[in-house]
Structure 1
Amino acid sequence: MKFLKRFGIDLYMLLLMAVVTLGALIPARGVGAEVLGHVTFWAVALLFFIYGAKLDLASIRAGIMNLRLQSLSFLATYVMFPLIGLAFAGLLGRWLGPELTLGLLFLAVLPSTIQSSIAFTGMAGGNVPAAICSATVSNLIGVVLTPALMALILHQSGGVSGDAVIKIATQILLPFAVGQMLRRWIGSFIQRHKLLTMIVDRGSILLIVYSAFSAGTVAGIWSAIPVPRFILLGLVIALYLAIVMGLMRLAWKQFRLPRPDGITLLFCGSTKSLATGLPIATALFPPSQVGAIVLPIMLFHLLQLLVCAVLAQRFAEEINPASSSNPSKQG
């Protein structure tokens, strides 16, 4: 396990892969699937309630003053990523198929990670307050901007359906807002009980993943994705991450960012949030399609953890050759 942690693989990542396998082999059906859907809905609502209660606006104000870094990170997440995603979709869409192409576009408009980008930034000697600000603002905006960008990309009349908008409002926005309003009274309690937050956070993701892959199995989606197409998706995801990280390093040099800011840009500008993306996907897309649509996100998330863990380790060793710890977490 210690060896795997050096590459960003911990018990949670193993559980995530196990849940994917379980959803493909033993999917929830009938009444079980209906109950799972209700449980998942309220788990996600609880997750965003806790996110709202944890959010410290003071940390955002402290980091927002670094306008150059925050602007570059925002443009990377919501302009550079979508443009590259559109290019991949246009070039390879007919070989990837409609569901995987849609998943690739959905990946492109997601916000950046929170936990892992901050953890990697801290480990590598980056600007942690700026990372907290960048990741938090990215996710706050993403709750609204991600569905809006998907509607724009899909060129659908009316964009996202009314039911999807209502579901996002009631399952994500409303709990988050209530949590933020109650932060004054419950924020310190939640901060003290980090195990509770971790259980809700990771438990919700595991539920969503199992539900999505179960629905995909029942709908027969996996049989419609041949092995060559899956391999192509893996290659596209690897190339996607390589391009965005290369562009982040280029921006670091071109804008002559200080080393801590450059590290922050690298980890905040080139990552995407599984924790935010999966709940939004369940609200936007039909259950039978969610499994295939979130597959690119799953692959990208796993790969970004592996690569970022190695990079953060190298940055840390440049500062302190004896450094060998790895605080990577999902986000």
Structure 2
Amino acid sequence: MTDLQQKPAILMLADGSVFRGKAAGKIGTTTGEICFNTGMTGYQEIFTDPSYFGQILVTTNAHIGNYGARQEETESGDVKIAGLVCKNWTVPFHRPLADSSVQDYFEDEAIVGISDVDTRAIVRHIRHQGAMNAVISSDVLDEKELKKILDATPSMEGLELASQVSTAEPYTFGEPDAKYRVAVLDFGTKRNILRCFTERDCYLKVFPAKTSLEELLAFEPDGFFLSNGPGDPASMDYAVATAKAILKLEKPLFGICLGHQLLALAVDIPTYKMHHGHRGINHPVKNLISGHCEITSQNHGFGVSPDAINDNLDKVEITHR
């Protein structure tokens, strides 16, 4: 433990709940919607997943930092979470391949966190009360001041965040002589999703979120992909319009996470804000075609309205539930 970590810190939720602990990462103040992830490993991949942009993450895994940080194990160019809440924050790391401690990593990335809190109690609270805004601070410890900061934080519902994490310029990924060419609309895509495409003999061109259909077609793609990402899909009229235009081409169109929700909106099926979202690596889903249960990795705080799907079965087919 360093002197930095011994400094007190405070986590306050929008409903007034307060949890006191110790500072982790950069000394400062941060706000965002609080959520939790149930994965037992892969914390660096989670920290750098653009879908977490604007969110304060609670880890149910008790130990964070014990295997350090490594640049090759990231899903994007930098840390995307707004802040971190964990039980045990470990500065010494025990892996030769690691580049640095997570403490140094967070200081370099200017990420504020809090440790030594009862994360089980916090997760139970979120599960019962739902996702809500929160503030972490290790430099402002007055609850009245923190309440003012929290009151000024916008709700996740209605926020368009994808354009803030999308690539600024188009780039290619994979081998040009691959069997398929796929145009990727980047709303906050993870690197591993791109790797999964290349493993399936695809050559990708990744485009900024607000790219026009004409620019996408200039790549001469065999299909299109709407990526994962943060924020409220209902606030992304530009992306829904592009998805509708792609559907008229009658070419394959695939969406994950935010992209899946945008695809639903493109066929007039609404989305909704979930009570506390699904974030983890062990969510069971039933394959309605095979009848088997599949264990999935999920990370989303918005969903597609199941009632509206049932009213639109002439447009869509449900394959998993």
Range of TM-score over shorter length: under 0.3
TM, length-normalised to structure 2: 0.26
Considering Cα pairs closer than 8 Å and 6+ residues apart, tell me whether 1 or 2 has the greater RCO.
1
TM, length-normalised to structure 1: 0.26
Higher helix share: 1
